[in-house]
C-alpha cells in the first residue's frame, strides 16, 4: 500500500461503494449504548459524593475503592475482547450473546451500589469494592462487545460517523434523562437522600436492561448478514494474546486514537467527578444546581452531535475535533477563575464545554474502525475486540488513577464531610484550591495534548478509501 501516513488527497482514487444502513437498525444500535451511558453518567457524577457524603466513607478510602474497582474494570476488558472475538453462535453471532445474557446481572449489580449497609468503615469499603467489581465485570461483558459492533455493521466512512451519531444521541440522551430522573426523585423525596439514591439505582437499572434488549433484537439480522459476508479466513483470532498486543501497539494510527481518546475523556471524567464538589463547596450553590449544570453541558452536546456529524462529512473528523476542542479549552480554563455568585457565567461556560464534549463522544470512536481495517489489511484478521478492549483498558486505568488522585487530594487537603447536624461545613482553603485546580488546569492541559495528537493523526478520508479498496480486492480473491 502507498504511504499510509500521507494526508494528501488523491483525486484519482476511486471511492468504495456506499453501504447505507436502515434507520431502524441505526436506532436499535444507538439504544444499545443508553444503558451504559445512564449507569456511567450516574456513577461518574454521583458515586464519589454518594460515598463520602451519604455512605459516610472517608474520602481516602473512597479514592482507593474507585481506583481498585476501575483497575479491575480495565483488566477484564482484554479478556472479554478476545473471548468475544472467539465466540461463535449460529443464532446470535460473536457479540450479541454477551449482551443478551449479561444484561440482567448488569442491572442488578448497578442497583446494589446504592444500598448503604450498617457496616464499619472497612466493612463499607469491602462491600462497595465487591459490588463495584461485579458491576464492572458485567458492564464490560455487555458494553465492550457492543462497541466492537461498529465496524461489523458498516464499512462506509461517512456512514460510521452517522452510526456513531445515533449511538451517542442515545448515550448523551440517556445521560440527560438520568439527570432529570435524579432531579425528579430528589423533589419527590427531599428529606431522605439515602432513599433517593436507591430509587435512582432501581429506575436507571431497569431502563438500562430494557434498552440493551432492544438493541440485541433490533440489529440481530444485520449482524448475522455482516458476519456472513466476512471471509472465513479473517474471522478467527488465532494469534497468542501477547502477539496480538504487540501488533496492536505497533499500529501507529491506533496509538494516536488512544491518545486522543484518553485526553478527551480525562477532561470529561475528572470534571464529572469534581463538579458536584465545585458547585456545592466552592460556588455555594444547592444540590439542584449540579443537575442543571450537567444538563447544560450534555444538552448542548446532544444538540451538537448531528451538527458535528454533518460538518465532518465536509471537512473531515480531525477538523471537527479542532473546532469543538477549541471552545471546550476556553470554557474549562475559565472555570478556574469563576467566583461564587457568578452563576450565569457558570452556565455559559457549561454550554461552551458541551460543544467540545460532543466531539469527544463522536470523533475518537469514529476513527477506531478505520484503524481496525488498517490492521486487517496488514494481518489478514478481524480483531475488533482486541482493539476496542485495549482502548477501553487504557482509558479506564488512566482515568481511575486521575480520579483517585483528585479524591486523594481532597482527603490530603482535609475535606470535611457533611453530617446530620452540619450539612454544609466550611471547607479549608486547601480543599477549595484542590477543587478549583481539578476542574480547571488539569482537564485543560489534557485537552491541549489531545489537539496536538489529532493534528498528527494519519488516516484521512482518502487514505481510508485506499485501505477499503485493497481489502475488497483481497476478499474478492479469497471468495473465488
Domain containing residue 335: CATH number? 1.20.1250.20
Confidence of residue 155 (pLDDT cuts 50, 70, 90): low
Residue 2 located in a structural domain: no
Residue 19 located in a structural domain: no
Residue 433 located in a structural domain: yes
Total count of domains within the chain:
1
Query: Can you tell me the mean pLDDT for 342-348?
Result: 95
- What is the predicted pLDDT for the residue at 329? 94
- What is the predicted pLDDT for the residue at 431? 92
Report which of residues 180 and 422 the model is more confident about. 180
Residue 3 located in a structural domain: no
Yes or no: say if 365 and 164 are a contact pair by the CB < 8 Å rule.
Answer: yes
Domain with 187, as residue range(s), is: 27-479
- What is the predicted pLDDT for the residue at 230? 56
- Which range (161-165, 344-348, 438-442) has the least confidence? 161-165
Residue 358 located in a structural domain: yes
- What is the predicted pLDDT for the residue at 158? 65
- What is the predicted pLDDT for the residue at 18? 47
pLDDT at 90 over 80: no
Residue 305 located in a structural domain: yes
This prediction has a pTM of: 0.68
Query: Can you tell me the mean pLDDT for 176-189?
Result: 87
Residue 11 located in a structural domain: no
pLDDT at 231 over 60: no
Residue 73 located in a structural domain: yes
Yes or no: say if 41 and 357 are a contact pair by the CB < 8 Å rule.
Answer: no
Residue 422 sits at φ, ψ, to 5 deg, of: -140, 95
Report which of residues 157 and 464 the model is more confident about. 464
Query: Can you tell me the mean pLDDT for 244-255?
Result: 77
- Which range (122-136, 190-204, 389-403) has the least confidence? 389-403
- Which range (40-44, 142-146, 382-386) has the least confidence? 382-386
- Which range (173-182, 372-381, 389-398, 433-442) has the least confidence? 389-398
Amino acid at each position: 500500500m502507498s504511504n499510509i501516513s500521507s494526508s494528501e488527497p488523491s483525486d484519482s482514487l476511486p471511492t468504495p461503494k456506499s453501504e447505507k444502513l436502515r434507520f431502524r437498525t441505526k436506532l436499535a444500535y444507538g439504544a444499545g449504548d443508553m444503558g451504559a451511558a445512564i449507569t456511567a453518567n450516574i456513577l461518574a457524577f454521583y458515586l464519589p459524593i454518594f460515598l463520602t457524603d451519604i455512605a459516610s466513607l472517608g474520602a481516602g478510602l473512597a479514592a482507593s475503592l474507585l481506583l481498585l474497582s476501575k483497575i479491575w474494570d480495565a483488566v477484564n476488558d482484554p479478556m472479554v475482547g478476545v473471548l468475544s472475538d472467539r465466540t461463535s453462535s449460529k443464532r446470535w453471532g460473536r457479540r450479541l450473546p454477551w449482551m443478551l445474557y449479561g444484561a440482567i446481572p448488569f442491572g442488578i449489580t448497578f442497583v446494589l451500589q446504592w444500598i448503604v449497609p450498617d457496616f464499619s468503615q472497612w466493612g463499607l469499603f469491602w462491600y462497595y469494592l465487591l459490588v463495584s467489581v461485579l458491576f464492572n465485570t458485567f458492564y464490560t461483558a455487555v458494553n465492550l462487545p457492543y462497541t466492537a459492533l461498529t465496524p461489523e455493521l458498516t464499512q462506509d466512512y461517512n456512514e460510521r460517523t452517522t452510526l456513531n451519531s445515533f449511538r451517542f444521541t442515545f448515550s448523551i440522551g440517556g445521560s440527560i434523562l438520568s439527570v432529570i430522573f435524579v432531579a425528579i426523585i430528589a423533589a419527590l423525596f427531599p428529606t431522605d437522600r439515602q432513599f433517593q439514591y436507591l430509587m435512582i439505582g432501581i429506575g436507571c437499572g431497569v431502563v438500562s436492561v430494557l434498552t440493551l434488549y432492544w438493541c440485541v433484537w433490533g440489529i440481530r439480522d444485520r449482524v448475522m448478514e455482516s458476519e456472513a459476508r466476512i471471509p472465513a479466513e479473517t474471522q478467527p483470532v488465532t494469534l497468542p494474546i501477547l502477539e496480538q498486543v504487540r501488533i496492536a501497539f505497533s499500529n501507529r494510527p491506533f496509538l494516536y486514537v488512544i491518545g486522543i481518546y484518553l485526553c478527551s475523556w480525562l477532561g470529561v471524567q475528572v470534571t464529572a467527578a469534581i463538579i458536584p464538589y465545585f458547585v456545592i463547596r466552592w460556588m455555594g450553590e444547592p444540590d439542584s444546581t449540579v443537575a442543571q449544570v450537567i444538563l447544560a453541558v450534555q444538552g448542548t452536546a446532544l444538540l451538537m452531535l448531528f451538527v458535528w456529524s454533518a460538518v465532518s462529512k465536509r471537512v473531515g473528523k480531525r477538523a471537527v475535533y479542532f473546532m469543538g476542542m477549541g471552545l471546550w479549552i476556553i470554557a474549562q480554563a475559565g472555570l478556574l477563575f469563576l467566583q461564587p455568585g457568578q452563576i450565569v457565567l457558570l452556565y455559559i461556560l457549561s454550554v461552551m464545554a458541551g460543544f467540545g464534549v460532543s466531539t469527544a463522544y463522536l470523533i475518537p470512536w469514529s476513527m477506531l474502525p478505520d484503524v481496525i481495517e488498517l490492521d486487517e489489511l496488514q494481518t489478514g484478521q478481524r480483531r475488533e475486540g482486541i482493539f476496542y478492549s485495549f482502548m477501553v483498558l487504557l482509558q479506564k486505568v488512566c482515568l481511575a488513577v486521575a480520579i483517585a488522585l483528585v479524591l486523594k487530594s481532597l482527603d490530603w487537603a482535609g475535606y470535611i464531610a457533611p453530617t446530620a447536624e452540619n450539612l454544609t461545613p466550611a471547607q479549608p482553603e486547601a480543599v477549595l484550591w484542590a477543587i478549583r485546580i481539578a476542574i480547571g488546569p488539569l482537564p485543560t492541559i489534557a485537552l491541549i495534548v489531545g489537539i496536538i495528537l489529532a493534528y498528527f493523526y494519519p488516516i484521512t478520508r482518502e487514505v481510508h478509501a485506499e485501505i477499503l479498496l485493497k481489502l475488497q480486492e483481497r476478499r474478492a480473491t479469497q471468495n473465488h
